[in-house]
Amino acid sequence: MLGGEVIECPQSLLTAARGARPVRTAIVNAVNAVAMESARDATVAGVIEPVLVGNLDEIRRAADQIGWDIGIYEVIEADGEDAAALAGAFAAGRGSVDALMKGHLHTDSFMKAVLNKEAGLRMGQPLAHIAHLTLPGRAGSIILSDGALNPAPDVEQKKAIIRYTVALAKALGNQRPKVALLSATEVVSPKIPSTGESVELTKWAKENVADADVDGPLAFDLAVSPEAVQIKGIKGSPVAGEADILVVPEIVCGNALMKMMIRFMGACLGGVVVGAKVPIILTSRADPPAARLASAALAAALRQNATT
């Protein structure tokens, strides 16, 4: 945040992530302090059981640098980020680990390995990035997709995104989430394609998404503000003013909204890529420790829910 406030991972998220046992998670190219800190924090929190992937000597040096004894944890040796990415992806594909966490490597190398057909992680459905945002002093959270992976998702991709976000909300304890399909206005306009798509998706969801309320198009204020709903006289929407989930029309809108909440409102962001065989945690050196822990917790909550 621009003001320098300390961001904290919400306890409710950690509680939802803790199951009968920590989720076995491959830390791909765990060869520097930031990657090892991410793994250690999630391990200490009881969220993951780390499997460290990368050059053994570099992993040991990174562990020593942060004072973490890794003697009891499995290591998969692989030299270089491309080799580590493939080793992690293949381990997930054959079921040796239940989640992947990006360590010290480029996102392109990491995702190339995830998409490798021989790794066995693709499930014949779209991938999507889901952001979970909690704001200081505000009860509850906002789930947002897709602000990081799909530039301009079409209607079929948005159907998948709706299903993914609803599944995450339920894994976190919300048994009937409210999904707002965002646009610039609640009025259908041929000049704003997302308005017409939102109407189509709302009709589809009534028949195909029995465990959530889905409505759109809704402008952002109408999605989250009961006052705006009252002032504008919006009636009959099961979502307006109470949205738990925001499905954005395209990546620029989602990315800007997500980063505004982080930088100007002090939100703690957890992010996970879904649609593959296992959840994928895309941490960054620029993320504060709380965000990296929140991302691991999201992946663990999804995995725990999938196995119960």
pLDDT by residue, tens only, the chain of 308 residues: 444 566 889 898 999 998 878 999 999 999 999 999 999 999 999 999 999 999 999 999 999 999 999 999 999 999 999 999 999 999 999 999 999 999 999 999 999 999 999 999 999 999 999 999 998 877 789 999 999 999 999 999 999 999 999 999 999 999 999 999 999 999 999 999 999 999 999 999 999 999 999 999 999 999 999 999 999 999 999 999 999 999 999 999 999 999 999 989 999 999 999 999 999 998 777 788 899 999 999 999 998 877 55
Q: Tell me the H-state helices in the chain.
A: 11-17, 33-44, 56-66, 81-93, 107-115, 155-171, 193-208, 220-224, 226-232, 251-265, 289-306
Query: Tokens 């948005």 map to which residue?
Result: 158
Amino acid residing at 293: L
Amino acid residing at 237: S
Q: In which region does residue 252 sit, left (phi positive, over 0), alpha (psi from -120 to 50) or beta (all else)?
A: alpha
What's the pLDDT score for residue 231?
95
What's the pLDDT score for residue 140?
81
Instruction: For residue 260, give Cα distances in angstroms to 19, 138, 263.
Output: 32, 16, 5
Characterize 96-130 residue by residue with b for buried, 16 or more Cβ atoms within 10 angstroms of its Cβ, and e for exposed.
Answer: ebbbbbbbbbeeebbbebbebeebebeeeebbbbb
Contacts of 92 (CB under 8 A, 6+ apart): 26, 98, 99, 100, 119, 121, 277, 278
- What domains can you pick out in the chain, each with its CATH number? 11-123+276-306 (3.40.50.10950), 129-264 (3.40.718.10)
Check if the beta carbon of residue 177 is closer than 8 Å to that of residue 166: yes
pTM of the model: 0.93
What's the pLDDT score for residue 308?
52
H helix or E strand, kind and range, residue 153: none
What are 27-69's pLDDT values in tens digits? 999 999 999 999 999 999 999 999 999 999 999 999 999 999 9
Residue 157 CA to residue 223 CA, distance in Å, equals: 21
Query: Tokens 């966490």 map to which residue?
Result: 101
The upper half-sphere exposure of residue 102, i.e. CA atoms within 13 Å in the direction of its Cβ, equals 22
Residue 240 CA to residue 226 CA, distance in Å, equals: 7
Check if the beta carbon of residue 268 is closer than 8 Å to that of residue 9: yes
Instruction: For residue 7, give Cα distances in angstroms to 4, 10, 261.
Output: 9, 9, 12
What's the pLDDT score for residue 161?
98
Check if the beta carbon of residue 217 is closer than 8 Å to that of residue 188: yes
Residue 113 CA to residue 73 CA, distance in Å, equals: 23
Residue 297 CA to residue 281 CA, distance in Å, equals: 10
Beta bridge partners of 179: 214, 245
Check if the beta carbon of residue 78 is closer than 8 Å to that of residue 51: no
Check if the beta carbon of residue 285 is closer than 8 Å to that of residue 32: no
